């Protein structure tokens, strides 16, 4: 069974604290010393993960109050979360909370920028993530994409099928591979997607029962032509564009139903947030 958010947060804190705990704070502060602090944006960010950062503090017994919820842009200097409790707990949670929030906001900010570009162009395509995620952090990166209005796509190899180039090469027959996957669906709503390398492949995948075709590594004009051809023959098919698409060129692929971008997670930086001591303004 996949881990929950609470499971991952506990694991991250265990990584930082191990068995010895925060040796610095434990030496400096008595166990009953209390304090307060606030998480502040140091740069512009689309918020995702404020509530998750709060959960980090709460896991160690502190209280947390969300000042600005997820799903909106904030400017530098914005207080997004206030925390209070034992000083040892606040300082032990600080870096894990900042890492979690900063990384999620980095992914969300790229996702939101791409989504807003498509919306401004009047394109109906959704922005989608991929499995090019940070090991051990996929749960939160996918959540950040969702918060920013994108499609997280499949969470792993278990919740949707995708016949890719190496499946085809190993099987030796695209139609046979697609037919086998469609036959093995665990339930009628289980989605099957097929990566295609030609217009003929796209048509063949649709004929064998695929729900989606993924047009990979094609220029926008070629991809659009393949999409129009397969849609004309199979009106229910949905089309994804993917393969090295730069964020600044996402609009060129707006003819697709979704545009998947590995860059949302691969190229996202951890945005800068800080923990400022005291109640503040």
Task: State the catalytic residues.
Answer: 95, 132, 164, 195, 216
3-state secondary structure of 92: helix
CA angle 116, 51, 96 (to 5 degrees): 105
Q: How many residues belong to the chain?
A: 281
Burial of 211-244, coded b for 16+ CB within 10 Å and e otherwise, reads: bbbbbbebebeebbebbeebbeebeebbbbbbbe
What is the distance, to the nearest Å, from the Cα of residue 196 to the centroid of all Cα atoms in its chain? 24
Cα of first residue to Cα of last residue in the chain, in angstroms, is 44
CB atoms within 10 A of CB 121: 13
Structure tokens at 136: 């051990």
């Amino acid at each position: 069974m996949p881990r929950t958010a609470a499971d991952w947060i506990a694991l991250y804190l265990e990584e930082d604290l191990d068995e010895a705990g925060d040796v610095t704070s434990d030496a400096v502060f008595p166990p009953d010393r209390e304090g307060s602090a606030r998480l502040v944006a140091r740069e512009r960010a689309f918020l995702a993960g404020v509530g998750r950062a709060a959960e980090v503090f709460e896991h160690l017994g502190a209280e947390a109050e969300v000042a600005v919820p997820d799903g909106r842009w904030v400017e530098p200097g914005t207080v997004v979360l206030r925390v209070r409790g034992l000083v040892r707990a606040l300082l032990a949670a600080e870096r894990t909370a900042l890492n979690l929030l900063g990384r999620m906001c980095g992914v969300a900010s790229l996702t939101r920028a791409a989504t807003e570009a498509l919306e401004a162009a009047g394109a109906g395509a959704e922005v989608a993530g991929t499995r090019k995620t940070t090991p051990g952090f996929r749960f939160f990166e996918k959540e950040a994409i969702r918060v920013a209005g994108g499609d997280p796509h499949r969470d792993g190899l278990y919740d949707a099928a995708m016949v890719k180039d190496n499946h085809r090469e190993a099987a030796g027959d695209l139609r046979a591979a697609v037919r086998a996957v469609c036959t093995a669906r665990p339930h009628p709503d289980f989605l099957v997607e097929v990566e295609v390398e030609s217009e003929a492949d796209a048509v063949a995948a649709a004929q064998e029962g695929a729900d989606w075709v993924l047009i990979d590594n094609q220029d926008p004009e070629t991809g659009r032509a393949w999409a129009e051809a397969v849609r004309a023959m199979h009106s229910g098919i949905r089309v994804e564009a993917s393969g090295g698409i730069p964020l600044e060129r996402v609009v060129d692929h707006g003819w697709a139903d979704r545009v998947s971008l590995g860059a949302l997670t691969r190229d996202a930086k951890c945005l800068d947030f800080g923990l400022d001591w005291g109640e503040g303004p």
